[in-house]
Amino acid sequence: MRFGDMSVAILIVVIVLIIIIPIPSGLLDVLLAINISAALIILLNVIYSKEALQISIFPSLLLFTTMYRLSLNIKSTTLILAKGEAGKVIEGFGTFVAQGNLVVGFIIFLIIMIVQFLVITKGTERVSEVAARFTLDAMPGKQMAIDADLNAGIISEAEARERRKNVQREADFYGAMDGATKFVKGDAIASIITTILNIIGGLIIGIVIRGEDFSSALETYTILTIGDGLVSQVPALLISFATGLIVTRSASDDGISEDLRKQILYNPKVFFIAGGFCMLLAIPLATLPFITLGTIFIIIGIILTKHMEEFEKQEEEQIEESEVEEIRKPENVVNLLQVDPIELEFGYGIIPLADVNQGGDLLDRVVMIRRQLALDLGMIVPVIRLRDNIALSPNQYVIKIKGVELASGELMLDHYLAMSPGVVEEEVTGIHTTEPAFGLPAVWIDESQRDRAEMLGYTVVDPPSVIATHLTEIIKRHAHELTGRQEVQTIIEKVKENYPAIVEELVPKVMTIGEIQKVVANLLKEGISIRDMVTILETLADYAPTTNDTDILTEYVRQALGRAISRRFMKEKQSSVITLDPELEQVIMDSVQKTETGSFINLEPGIINTIINNLSKQVQKLINLGQQPIVLASPIVRLYFKRLVDQSIPGLVVLSYNELDPDIQVQAVGTVSI
C-alpha cells in the first residue's frame, strides 16, 4: 500500500495519539505552528479557487482540522494545569496580547471569541443551510435543462453525463457543508468552555496545591489561558473565514481576488464621489487622514478613467477587426441565406409605437396576434421580426412573408382611423384614405373628433391597431405557407402527449409528416381551423389506408370538421347560399383529369368565363343584401369548383352539403349555371 493511501489513516491515528500520549512543550510548539500554517494554506486555497467544487473535500478537511485543533487544545490545557507552562508559542501569544495588562488582554481575547462565534460562525451556519436547501430545490430544474440540451443536440451524451455528475456533486457538497459548519460552531463553544475551565482550574491548582498567592496565580494562568485560546482561535478564525467564503461565493470564471478587482475597481465615478466626501469630512474632523484618503481616492479615479478610455479604444479596435474578419470569412455568406418567415418593417416615425420606453405597445400586440391566431386557426405563428428601415418614408410600414413584400400601409401618428359601417347620418371631416387590411374607405381624424365619430357610428381605431389588424389578416391569408413540416411536427408531438395511440398508428406507418402538412395547408388555405388536430388525425387514420391523394383526404377531414366549419361561416340559424346547377356540376366532373401527381380541371376558356360571370352576379347580389357569399356544391365537385374560381374571386367560401350542420337551415338565393 502506498503512503498516499495510508495518509488519512495516519492522520487519524496521530490526532488520537496527541490526546493520549504525553507531549513535551517543545513538540507542542511545533504542532501548534503546523496548525496555524495549515489553516492559512486552506484559506488561501479557497481564495484562489474558481468554484466550490474545486475543493470538494473541504467538509472532510473541516472535520480533520477541528479535531486536530481540539486535540492540541486538550494537550495544552493538560500542560497549563499540570506544569503551569505550555511552551513558547502559547506564552508568547499571551504576553504579546496582554502587553502587561491582564484586563486588556482578556478583553481582546473575548472580542476575538465573540466575533468568531456570533458573527462568522453564526452567519456561515445560516448561509450553509440556505445554500443546501436551494441547491437541492434547483436539482430537478438543472436535470431537465441538461436533458433538454441533450435532446436538442447542443451537448453530447458524455457531456450530459458529466453535467449530471457535477449537479449531484454540487448537491452533495452543499449538503455536507451544512453539516460541517456545525463542527465550527461546536469548536467555538468548546473554546469558550475550555477558557473558563483553564482559569478556574489554574487558580485552584496555583492557590490550593502550589500555595501561590491570588495575584500571581491569576497572572500566570490568565496569560497562559489567553495564549492558549489565541493559538486555538487564530487558526479557527482562518478556517471559519474560509468556510464563510466557500459557501457565500457564486460561480465565477476567476478567483475571488480577480472578481473583487473587476467588480469593485471598475467605476471611476465611485472613487471621485468618495474622494470628494472625504475632503468635506476633513473640515470638521481629523484633517490629515481624510485629506490623504480623499487624495488617494481621486488618484485611483483618474487612473481608472485612463484605463477605461484605453480599454474602450482597444475594444473598438477589436470590434472593427472582428467585423472585418467576419466579412472576409467566406462561410459567413451562409448566414445571409436565412429568410425570416414574417417581417414587419417600418419607418423611423413609427419607432415610438414599438418602443416600450416611449409607451409603445406594438410588441405586446404582436404577442397577442400569435396567441389569437393559435386560438382561432390552431396554427403556430413563427416569430415576427420587427425592424426599422430608413429606406421607407417615416410613417410607412411593410409586411413581408419569407422575404417578399406582400402588403404595405402608411399611418398618421396622433390621429385615429375612422371607418364607416356603410350608412352614416353625417360624415366626419378628415383626410380620406383606404383601410389597408380590407380596403374599406376610411378617414384619418384627430383626437378631438374621436367621440363625435363614434357617436355617428364610425369604427375608430388607433395606429397600432391598424398595423396589428393588417398584419393579422396577412398572416391568415398566408397561413398555409407559414405552416411547414416543422410546425406540424411540433403540433403532432403535443397531441401525442395525450393521444399517443392515434399518432403511433398514423405516423409514420400510414402517412409522413409531409403528407399531413399538405392536408393541414389545404385546410388553412380556406380558413379552416386546425386546432382540433385529434379529429384531423383520426380521420386521416381512417381514410389514408385507402387513398394517398391529399386533396381527397382533405375533403374527408372537412366533412369530419363539418360542424366547426358551418359555425365558422354561418353565424345564424338560417343562411342564404348560392348553389350550383346539376348540369354545371356534371360538366365539371367530366372535365376532371387525374394524373399520378394529382387531379386538375380541363375546361375551355369560354365556359370558364361564363361560369365566373354568372357566379359574380350571384355573389354581388348577396353582398348587396349585406350577407357573406357562400357557395354550396356536392362533395365531389366542391374542391374542383373552389380551384376554378379561386383566382377570380379569392376568399370565396365554397362548402359541400356534407359539411353542413343539420341544425343550420340554408336558403338558396341563386344558382350558377352555364
Helix (H) or strand (E) holding 655: strand 653-656
Q: How far apart are CA 273 and CA 262, in angstroms?
A: 19
Average pLDDT for 245-271: 65
Residue 1's pLDDT band (cuts 50, 70, 90):
very low
pLDDT at 252 over 60: no
**CA distances, 655 to each of 166, 563, 600 (Å):** 61, 12, 19
List of residues 6+ apart from 187 with CB closer than 8 A: 66, 69, 70, 236
Q: What is the mean pLDDT of residues 576-591?
A: 90
Cell 513558547 locates to 88
Question: In the prediction, which pLDDT does 535 show?
Answer: 95
Mean pLDDT computed over every residue of the chain: 81
Q: Positive or negative CA dihedral for 552, 556, 561, 563? A: positive
Q: How many other β-carbons are positioned within 10 Å of the β-carbon of residue 599? A: 14
Instruction: List, by residue range, all CATH 3.40.30.60 domains of the chain.
Output: 342-477
Q: Contact, 94 vs 33, CB < 8 A?
A: no
Query: How many distinct helices (H) and strands (E) make up the chain?
Result: 25, 14
Distances in Å between the Cα of 505 and the Cα atoms of 94, 128, 511 are 85, 53, 9
Residue 91 in this model has a pLDDT that exceeds 90? no
Res 159 pLDDT > 80: yes
**CB atoms closer than 10 angstroms to residue 383:** 10
d(CA 150, CA 160): 7
Return the number of other C-beta atoms located less than 10 Å from residue 349's C-beta: 18
Domain(s) labelled CATH 3.40.50.12790 in the chain stretch across 572-674
pLDDT at position 440 is: 86
pLDDT computed for residue 98 by the predictor = 57
Does the predicted model carry a pTM greater than 0.75? no
> Containing H/E element for 400?
strand 396-401
Residue 422 to residues 30, 71, 440, 610, 649: CA-CA distances in angstroms?
103, 98, 10, 31, 22
- Average the pLDDT over 436-462 and give the result: 90
Q: Which amino acid is at 68?
A: Y
* Residue 335 pLDDT grade (very low, low, confident, very high; cuts 50, 70, 90): low
Q: pLDDT band at 334, cuts 50/70/90?
A: low
Beta strands in 483-586 (DSSP E): 574-580
Exposed/middle/buried for 514, CB within 10 Å: 0-12, 13-18, 19+?
A: exposed
Mean pLDDT of 654-671: 89
The segment(s) of the chain belonging to CATH 1.10.8.540 are 483-560
- Would you state the pLDDT for residue 409? 93
Choice between 553 and 60, residue whose per-residue pLDDT is larger: 553
Fold observed for domain 483-560 = Helicase, Ruva Protein; domain 3 (1.10.8)
User: Which range has the worst mean pLDDT, 112-116, 163-167, 628-632?
Assistant: 112-116
Q: How confident is the model at residue 84 (pLDDT cuts 50, 70, 90)?
A: low
Instruction: Say which residue, 131 or 624, is predicted with more confidence.
Output: 624
Q: Compute the distance between CA of residue 622 and CA of residue 669 in angstroms, rounded to an integer.
A: 8
Is residue 254 over pLDDT 60?
no
Least confident of 22-36, 241-255, 469-483, 552-566: 241-255
| Residue 479 to residues 471, 484, 485, Cα–Cα distance (Å) | 12, 10, 13
Which residue from 160, 572, 529 is spatially nearest to 375, judged by alpha carbons?
529
**Which CATH superfamily hosts domain 572-674?**
FHIPEP family, domain 4 (3.40.50.12790)
Weakest mean pLDDT among 234-243, 315-324, 330-339:
330-339
List 668's β-bridge partners, or say none.
577
Amino acid at position 529, single letter:
S
Q: What is the DSSP string of 182-207?
A: HHHHHHHHHHHHHHHHHHHHHHHIII
Asked if 561 contacts 527 with a C-beta cutoff of 8 angstroms, the reply is: no
Find the distance separating the first CA and the last CA of the chain, reported in whole Å. Answer: 104
φ/ψ (deg, to 5) at 592: -75, 130
Q: Which residues contact 299 (CB under 8 A, 6 or more apart)?
A: none
Q: With beta carbons less than 8 A apart as the criterion, state whether 180 and 62 touch.
A: yes
Domain 342-477 indexed as CATH 3.40.30.60: yes
Residue 241 identity: F
254-268, 451-465, 636-650: which has the minimum mean pLDDT? 254-268
pLDDT on residue 632: 93
